[in-house]
A and B are shown apart, each in its own frame.
Chain A
Amino acid sequence: MIPCTDFIPAYSELFKTLNKINGKKAVEDFWKYLAENFLTNLRSLVKKHGLKGCWLYWQHTLNEEAAGFTMELNEKKGFFRIKMHKCPSKGRLLKIKHIKPYHDYCRHCDVLYRHILEPLGFEYIFDSTKCYKASCSITVKARQ
Chain B
Amino acid sequence: MADLVMSAVAMRRAADVLLHGVGGRVVMLRMPATASAGDVTEQLGLAVPQFQDVELAPVVLERGSATGRTMLVSANAVNALVGSMGYSAVSVLFADAFGVLVDGVLMEVESVAETELGGAAAIYRLSLRVPVALQA
Q: Are A and B part of the same complex?
A: no
Taking Cβ atoms with an 8 Å cutoff, the residues of A that contact B are: none
